[in-house]
Amino acid sequence: MASITDLQTIDWAASARTFFDDSDSAMFVFQPQDLQLVKVNACAEQWMGISWSQVSNFRVDELLESDDSDSFADLIAACRARQSFATAESVWLRRSQRGPLEVNVTVGQLPAEPEPLGLLIVREIDASDNLHRELRETNTRLVQQREAQYRLLVENAPLCIHSIDVQRRLSSINPAGTAMMGARDPGELIGRDYLSFIDQTDRERIERLLTEAYQGHTADFEFTCLTETGKRRFKSNFIPITDADGEVKKVIGTTEDITGRVQALQQLRINSRALAVADVGIVIADARLDDVPIVYCNAAFQRITGYPQQEVLGRNCRFLQAHDQGQPGAEELSEALSAQRECTVLLRNYRKDGTMFWNELSISPVRDESGVVTHFAGFSKDISARVAAESQLRDSEVRFRTLCRDAPLGIFLTDVDGRCNYVNEIGARICGQSRQAIYGDGWVRTLHPDDRSRIVKAWKAAVRKQQKFELEARFCHADGSITWGHVWANPHLSDQGEAIGYVGSIVDVTERKQALRELEESERRYRTLVEDAPEAIMVVDMDDGRFVDWNDATLKLFRSDAETIAGKFLWDFFPEKQPDGRDSSEAAKEVMRASLGGESPAFEWMHVDSAGNEIPCEIRLTGLMFGDRQLVRGTVTDISQRIADQRQLRRTRLAVESTSDAMFVINEQGQFIDVNQTACDRLGYRRDELLTMTVSDINPNYPMEAWPGHWRDLKEAKKAVYESVHLKKDGTSIPVEISKSFATVGGEEFAFAFVRDITERKKVETLLESTQFAVDNNVSAIVRINSAGRLIYVNHAACQDLQYSRDELLSMHIWDIDLNWPEDDWLDRWNQIKHAGSSMIETMHRRKDGSVVDCEVTACYVSFDGEDFVFAFCVDITDRKQAQQRLRQRETQLAHVSRLSTMGEMVAGIAHEVNQPLYSILNFSKATKNNLANPTEKNLQQIATWNHQITEAATRAGGIIKRLRAFVSQEPVECSDVEVHSLIKDALELVAYEIKQANVTIQTDFCPGSVVVLADRVQTQQVLVNLLINAVEAMERSNPETRRIAVRTRKYEQYIEVAVSDSGPGFHDCNERTLFDPFMSTKDGGMGMGLAISKTIIESFGGRLTVESDKNEGATFLFTLPLAKNHV
């Protein structure tokens, strides 16, 4: 068949004839004006059944039938306009011998004289031709559409789409995938071995999956990908694409980067820790990269170290040690890092400005779902202050011990209950016991038995009232000797004025006692000469001990009268034992005998008067022989008063010596006349050295020439208090406060100077200044509030945060800015804080422009100089709040996804559960139909029963659907009152099929009554379903006879405990710790999110989820939920 192009090129004159005649297309030549046919070819004659001669009877347009009558005219017009051929398809040829024929027609012009002729070429359309064409066209169109759709999808998909050829090479990848891999151009990736992108740890597994994919299996999996920008966690799949003969020609995959998701979960875990320790510096280092670089640090860390974040990231933590490498803590740290375990070390670190600080660093490894340590989280705390305080404490401790050891007197310490917790060597020697024997209440046993109860009573009374304590005591030594000790103890007060123990001293006064006794004895010898002496003089019969004679002083001494004493014996006025422990009557007889032998013994003696009071006495005896009567005259002196006087004197001296103020007695020339021990200790001079010196030697403010002027001023003013400086022997100086007073004693003029060391006070003042600076410039807003609620101090940050000027704020009350601190409640709040000392609350503050910010306020109650304040530290927590809210939303979504996933696992069961009642309904309805065919009365009664059962079955099916719908609904989390037991029953219904399927027996043990908690119903049910399914799956390999799940509830005062126990194999220890981590699964097909989400859910309602497991004894999951307030 000739084509149209042929027609155009053929020389009409030469070969047209042949072409025209032999063509198998019908051709008609016609007059363009009147469309009259001029000529037709053989083919046309044959088709149309018209002969050459009849041609002129036809018009060309009569040949064709068209829906549109204008169509032929249009064709000609088109042909004319283009000066070329015009074609129309699917036109019906009207006058055909073979009936109506569908044809394609072409109209063109033939060059002829005088004007061109029209040519109509008609070509038959084969019916099958037509069909093929349509199919082809449709196909092509569809293919094109699909291609376009597919390309758009692949090019713009937000996830990676790639294909792998049979050689396992990456054969295509879309732009998103290229970007995910960190490549700039797909060309960098295409053609590479697919497995070369996969981390070594996952390669074997993925290779297996890929091999299976070539056998036609699809696969979903996660893997660690080696991208150009480092390792990432991807989730991908394999979809095998088969060609016509069923062979897999390539594998397509879609891949999603879930690193962020995994990291987000890790972040979540880290964040929750971080929140708990807000002011702790936190660093996170990537364990997978070389040298474990820091990838994150929080603001506190930057604050502590002084390094901004960009200078911290990418470096190993050890840069903080600067030049001070090789510390013991650092070694321990690097050991812990390589062993991947937690540890806490103390390091000397250096801030950016070079200053050292003590860093208490705790690190803990963060593991991914496969248990591999991916990060280390470090918690950094600047504890320099603590270390400094500890070292100071140690120093002062050392000073104290040294002092105690070297002091010439016994020193002891007690706790607040009066139990001895320290005594020095000398003290122990006086007591006559080892130091250990004295500790606690041991000292009581060293006392002389006669004194014991008295002293213990006095001591207890003093301790109770926190008073000073002072007395003389006899201590019994192992060898029987006795030491007199002067015991003195002062309560040791804390800064708050509470006694925290006693500091005391013991001085051995035995010798002094003896000396006094000797002195008094000689005096007494003289006094015996005087009959009417003030001493008591009595004559006693040695044989029977009766009083023979006595003077008034004797009666006075014994508080007795003449008649009474006449009937008494001498020993009636003795205590049973003398203070030195001897039996009184034995000792008395001994000395009396000695006096009868011609001696005149004089001794101290303890009498008791008739009321039982002890009277320390001094006695001198003279033997009197009257024939065979042995009489002894005794001169007895009451020495109570004397002992008291001596004690008083000693006390004063002791006070002067042991006062913490240095004391100087100065004369007119400025010379030191007397100094106390404190003065010597403080200045480092010996006493004899100081007594040769003058004021100008130790005080640079008073050179010799200025002294007389100072003396005059003092004499006039009588008193002066001023701060000055003292020079020590070693050349250092100490700030002091001097209180001077002027006095005249025995005609001589003296100045008494009490000098107080104010080094500490100066330090405190300096500290206070720096603290104030810190407060003024703190990043937190700090305000001080007085008891009236007025703001009396605000720092710079407070002004900035609240947008007020300082003056404005200082005229305001706390309720003007704090929305939760209304004026009416102020007093209650004040008292609450006062009671608690400090409290932390979340609240809202209103700025000057009316906007409201979320704040966390730490309020501390401070009492200072008789005034009470509340310090409030306010931190803007808007961001944290929002983050928490976002986190909550994420968790809800995650819980929902997890529920859907659980639902997916349960789909077989659900289908069965729904199928069962439907099956029953069908049976009943068929039975009904059968009975209706034979409507006897009995049959109709049955129908009524069955109808009722149909209703029940339908209700049951509806109930299942309702529970399911509730379970997968994505309602916002809403805490409301939920009855726990009905919740458990519903959950058991949901998993009824799984339980039956696994042949598990359910035991329930509910506490009596209904239990209402405040929680979200759906989420709590999710937890239960999760635990139940876990329990069922845990027993997959157990003996079917013993598969058992026990659900137990116990109600406690504030919460309910729900326990789900299985009789499965339990857990190994290692699992138990990581059980609640996300992506941790002991099941083959498990996603590992169930328990992690359950834990999050339970904790969000204020409960706890824990697990108890004994190997081979099954596992028990327990969770608690707080009872709803009105149901406690």
Partner 1 sequence: MFEKATVYIVDDDQQARESVTALVQSMGLTALAFPSAEEFLEHVRPDTHGCVVTDLRMIGMSGIELQDALRQHEIMLPVILITAYPRTSLTVRAMKHGAITLLEKPYEDDDLWDAVREGLLRDEQQREKRLRQREIRKRLESLSEKQQQVMEFMVEGIANKVIARRLDVSIRTVENRRHEIFEKMQAKSLAELVQMVFTVREEVNAG
Q: Per CB under 8 A, which region of 176-184, 527-535, 879-887, 942-950 contacts partner 1?
A: 942-950
The residues facing 1055 across adjacent strands are: 1122
| Among 1121, 1118, 1103, 1117, CA closest to 1011 | 1121
Is 918 near partner 1 (CB under 8 A)? yes
Task: Examine residue 906 and tell whether it contacts partner 1 (CB under 8 A).
Answer: no
Residue 963 parent element (H or E): helix 937-968
Q: How far is the CB of 1001 from partner 1 (least distance, A)?
A: 9
Stretch that binds partner 1, among 204-212, 788-796, 839-847, 911-919 (CB under 8 A): 911-919
Under the criterion CB under 8 A, does residue 44 sit at the interface with partner 1?
no
Nearer to partner 1, 387 or 954 (CB): 954
Binding of partner 1 by 941 (CB under 8 A): no
Q: Is 1067 in the site for partner 1 (CB under 8 A)?
A: no
Instruction: Specify the residue, 921 or 1105, whose C-beta has the smaller distance to partner 1.
Output: 921
Q: What single DSSP character describes residue 216? A: T
**Which of left, alpha, beta for 179 (phi over 0: left; psi -120 to 50: alpha)?**
alpha
Among 281, 418, 501, 917, contact with partner 1 (rule: CB under 8 A): 917
- Out of 671, 931, 1071, 1082, the only residue in the binding site for partner 1 (CB under 8 A) is 931
Which residue, 726 or 956, is less far from partner 1 as judged by CB? 956
Does the protein bind partner 1 through residue 952 (CB under 8 A)?
A: yes
Closer to partner 1 by Cβ: residue 761 or 938: 938
Q: How many residues bind partner 1 (CB under 8 A)?
A: 28
Largest CA distance in the chain: 211
Taking CB under 8 A as the binding criterion, the range among 418-426, 799-807, 913-921, 980-988 that sits at the site for partner 1 is 913-921
Inter-CA distances, 788 with 87, 812, 857, Å: 102, 11, 19
Q: Which stretch binds partner 1 (CB under 8 A): 103-111, 478-486, 826-834, 922-930?
A: 922-930
Say how far apart CA 436 and CA 503 lie, in whole Å: 18
**Token digits of residue 596:** 């009868």
User: 1063 CB contacts (<8 Å, ≥6 apart)?
Assistant: 1035, 1038, 1042, 1043, 1044, 1045, 1114
Exposure class string for 1041-1051: b at 16+ Cβ within 10 A, else e = eebbbbbbbeb
**Of 68-76, 181-189, 665-673, 945-953: span binding partner 1 (CB under 8 A):** 945-953
Residue from 585, 658, 696, 916 binding partner 1 (CB under 8 A): 916
Binding mask 955-994 for partner 1 (x = CB under 8 A): -x--------------------------------------
Q: Which residues pair with residue 1106 across a beta bridge?
A: 1118
H or E, element range at 875? strand 867-876
Q: Is position 912 an interface residue for partner 1 (rule: CB under 8 A)?
A: yes
Q: What is the smallest separation between the CB atom of 949 and partner 1, expressed in angstroms?
A: 6
CB of 952 to partner 1, least distance (A): 7
Residue 996 touching partner 1 (CB under 8 A): yes
Cβ proximity to partner 1: between 52 and 919 the closer is: 919
For residues 783 and 910, which CB has a smaller minimum distance to partner 1 in the complex?
910
845 binds partner 1 (CB under 8 A): no
In the region spanning residues 727 to 786, those forming contacts with partner 1, defined by CB under 8 A, are: none
Q: How far is the CB of 291 from partner 1 (least distance, A)?
A: 58
Q: Which stretch binds partner 1 (CB under 8 A): 60-68, 356-364, 478-486, 941-949?
A: 941-949
Q: Does 309 bind partner 1 (CB under 8 A)?
A: no
The pair of structure tokens assigned to 237 is 């799949």
Handedness of CA 469, 474, 476, 481 (dihedral sign): positive
In the three-class reduction of DSSP (H, G, I as helix; E, B as strand; rest coil), residue 684 is classed as: coil
CB nearer to partner 1: give 392 or 915: 915
Counting contacts by CB under 8 A, is residue 946 touching partner 1? yes
Nearer to partner 1 by Cβ, of 439 and 946: the residue is: 946
Q: How far is the CB of 1051 from partner 1 (least distance, A)?
A: 32
Residue 1032 CB, nearest distance to partner 1 (Å)?
A: 14
Beta-bridge partner residues of 1002 = 1045
Burial 1019-1028 (b: 16+ CB within 10 A, else e): bbbbbbbbbb
How far, CA to CA in Å, does 544 sit from each of 547, 573, 582, 606, 633?
9, 15, 21, 20, 14
999 binds partner 1, rule: CB under 8 A: yes
Q: According to CB under 8 A, which one of 349, 359, 699, 920 is a site residue for partner 1? A: 920
Which residue in 57, 919, 1004, 1083 binds partner 1 (CB under 8 A)?
Answer: 919
Q: State yes or no: residue 1043 binds partner 1 (CB under 8 A).
A: no
Q: CB of 59 within 8 A of CB of 145?
A: no
Residue nearer to partner 1 on the CB measure, 551 or 920? 920
Cα torsion at 516, 517, 523, 527 (round to 10°)?
140
Smallest distance from partner 1 to CB 930, Å: 4
- Is 928 among the residues that bind partner 1 (CB under 8 A)? yes
Nearest to 301 by CA among 351, 252, 346, 267: 351
Smallest separation (angstroms) from partner 1 to the CB of 919? 5
Of 920 and 1109, nearer to partner 1 (C-beta) is: 920
Is 398 or 918 the residue whose CB approaches partner 1 more closely? 918
| 1004 contributes a contact to partner 1 by CB under 8 A | no
Minimum CB separation of residue 926 from partner 1 in Å reads 5
HSE-up of residue 522 (Cα within 13 Å, Cβ side): 5
What CA–CA distance (Å, rounded) separates 696 from 704? 6
- What span, in angstroms and rounded, lies between the C-alpha atoms of 59 and 522? 182
- Tokens for 518, please give them: 């000797």
Question: Judged by CB under 8 A, which of 284, 312, 953, 1035 binds partner 1?
Answer: 953
Is-contact 741 718, C-beta < 8 A? yes
Q: How far is the CB of 944 from partner 1 (least distance, A)?
A: 12
Residue 107 CA to residue 99 CA, distance in Å, equals: 22
Q: How far is Cα 504 from Cα 494, in angstroms, rounded to an integer?
A: 16
Tell me: does residue 1060 bind partner 1 (CB under 8 A).
no
Under rule CB under 8 A, residue 926 binds partner 1: yes
CA nearest neighbour of 500 among 418, 392, 397: 418
Residue 588 near residue 574, CB atoms below 8 Å = yes
| Total Cβ atoms within 10 A of residue 244 | 6
Nearer to partner 1, 149 or 997 (CB): 997
Residue 489, strand partner residues: 469, 504
Q: Taking CB under 8 A as the rule, does residue 930 contact partner 1?
A: yes
Residue 600 or 949: the one with the smaller Cβ distance to partner 1 is: 949
**CB of 692 or CB of 997, closer to partner 1:** 997
Alpha-carbon distances of 619 from 525, 631, 634, rounded to whole Å = 10, 15, 6
Residue 917 C-beta: closest distance to partner 1, Å = 7
Binding flag, residue 927, partner 1 (CB under 8 A): yes
Cβ contacts of residue 1075 below 8 Å, gap of 6+?
1067, 1091, 1107
The long-range contacts involving 413-418, CB below 8 angstroms and separated by at least 24 positions, are: 413/492, 413/501, 413/502, 413/503, 413/504, 414/463, 414/489, 414/501, 414/502, 414/504, 415/500, 415/501, 416/463, 416/499, 416/500, 416/501, 417/463, 418/459, 418/460, 418/463, 418/502
Which segment (263-271, 800-808, 888-896, 919-927) binds partner 1 by CB under 8 A? Answer: 919-927
Return the SS3 of 831. helix
By beta-carbon proximity to partner 1, the closer residue of 550 and 946 is 946
Note the residues at the interface with partner 1 (CB under 8 A): 911-912, 915-924, 926-931, 939, 942, 946, 949, 952-953, 956, 996-997, 999
